[in-house]
Amino acid sequence: MKKIKFIYLFTMLSCSISFAQEKPTQEIDPSKPTNLYTQFNTLSEINKYDEFSTYGTRLNFEYAFNPDNLLLVEVPFLYNDLTKKTGLSDTRIRYFNAVKRNISKTIIAIAPFVDISIPTGNSNYGLGEGTWSLAAGAVVGMVISENEALFPGVNYVYLTKVSESGFGLQTNMSVSFSKKSFLFVNPIVTFFSFDTIVQAELNYNYILKPNKFKVNLGWLPNFTNNINTIRLGATFFL
């Protein structure tokens, strides 16, 4: 059950996506998750459980069809130090649609999404969760100040393995320190009949080459199940 719960750390982290700008000449601003950009991301990660750890690489490609629609495909490859097995983990597919933009000076976007986790990893080897995760929800972009913004979200999620559905909440805050550096602080709570899962994301980003390349370092704790994930990543904007 603990491994099944861990899937929500990935389901709810949809707010760290970047979306395509409205004009080709407009400067890319990845500090606002409701800006959609075509990009390629590669991440090295360590996942620490009580009984074992997994290590590996997570690749994802995000394609912005236009300023308001984006498709993400994510493929992870992991090694489990308990089973000594290496292979494909669970694949993710996400789709975003920014249905409203610039509603007011404060509310900059409303973006519904669907998020599917496909059990492509072998759960017997500790490389996957062994369940489909089907989620749908929405994120709202809200500007607080010149350097701070909130991106609260809600979602419904269903797990096929245990035939359980849940309701998730997140409050992703973006804090910009300069034009090149920013931090995401994202507390996440998911409510199920069998448990309440409390998680978070701290993700520091630094733009090395504007409009082209950034790096990031993230800590993703699952407080309920005592799982800690560390990720070091790079993003190439295309």
Residue 27 is classified by DSSP as: P
State the DSSP code for 200: E
Q: What is the mean pLDDT of the chain?
A: 92
Domains in the chain with CATH codes: 2-237 (2.40.160.40)
- CA–CA distance from 82 to each of 52, 58, 237 (Å)? 6, 20, 36
* Bridge partners (DSSP) listed for residue 117: 92, 133
Q: Per-residue pLDDT tens for 76-98?
A: 999 999 999 999 999 999 999 99
Q: Tokens 């929405």 sit at which residue?
A: 138
Contacting residues for 137 by C-beta, under 8 A, at least 6 apart: 14, 112, 113, 115, 153, 154, 155, 156, 168
Tally Cβ neighbours within 10 Å of residue 37: 21
pTM of the entire predicted model: 0.89
Whether the predicted pLDDT of 225 surpasses 60: yes
CA angle 94, 99, 104 (to 5 degrees): 130
Kindly state the percentage of the chain with pLDDT values over 70: 89
Please identify which residue in the block is written with the tokens 């986790």: 117
Which pLDDT band holds residue 202 (cuts at 50, 70, 90)? very high
The 3-state DSSP class for residue 3 equals helix
Give per-residue pLDDT as tens, 17-40.
444 334 445 689 999 999 999 999
Name the band, by pLDDT with cuts 50, 70 and 90, for residue 221: very high
Tokens 């369940």 correspond to what residue?
Answer: 131
Q: How far apart are CA 64 and CA 70, in angstroms?
A: 4
What is the spatial distance between Cα 54 and Cα 82, in angstroms, rounded to a whole number?
A: 9
Each residue's pLDDT tens digit, 97-148: 999 999 999 999 999 999 999 999 999 999 999 999 999 999 999 999 999 9
Q: Three-state SS for 120? A: coil
State the Cα–Cα distance between residues 196 and 172, nearest whole angstrom: 19
